[in-house]
Amino acid sequence: MTTSDLIFEYNIWANEKYREMIEKLDESMIKTKLPGFKSLFELCQHIVLAELRCVLILSEQRDLNKDDRKDVKNLELRELFQYWKKLDVGLKNLSHKSEETKIELQQFSGIKATNFVLQFPFHSAYHRGQLTVVLKLYNCKTENTDLLTFLSRVYSDK
């Protein structure tokens, strides 16, 4: 397994852990904004939109548009989580194709596609931190999703 594969497998696993934690909560907790924070639902929508943006840039050479945003904003939680899972796997698959991909969008020109695609597992980690803060404000127990936890529980490099 390459380092890139490991990063994407870890991202898939960690995101799944957060979806599982959030699915156990009451809908009111998921959709309520706390002072100074987006709701858990809005944070999840943002993560999905960020991953969708990467997929569109790498696969279709286009950025998000109003319809893409509207489509994601109209998803219910279960649909949003299913779409998020699909995007996680799609990003891993695109990471293999990024060697041949040239980013044509002016905003990102000059960035190698192989580096561009790595932004999103790291961006997801940033947002998992935000999700953790909101979950802790609700006094929810959170799971350890550190890379070393993933390596010791899920992935064996023996």
pLDDT digits (tens, 9 = 90+) for 23-65: 999 999 999 998 888 999 999 999 999 999 989 988 888 889 9
CA pair distance 147, 144, nearest whole angstrom: 9
**Residues with Cβ within 8 Å of residue 21, at least 6 apart in sequence:** 135, 140, 142, 143
User: Which pLDDT score is estimated for 75?
Assistant: 97
Please, is 76 exposed, middle or buried when counting C-beta atoms within 10 Å of its C-beta (0-12, 13-18, 19+)?
exposed
Question: Which positions ≥6 away from 3 have C-beta within 8 Å?
Answer: none
- Rounded mean pLDDT of 7-17? 96
Mean pLDDT of all residues belonging to the chain: 90
Under a CB-based contact definition with an 8 Å cutoff, are residues 89 and 6 in contact? no
Architecture of domain 3-153: Up-down Bundle (1.20)
What is the arithmetic mean of pLDDT over 125-135?
94
Q: What is the mean pLDDT of residues 65-93?
A: 95
Q: How many residues does the chain have?
A: 158
Q: What residues does each domain of the chain span? A: 3-153
CA distance linking residue 141 with residue 10, whole number of Å: 21
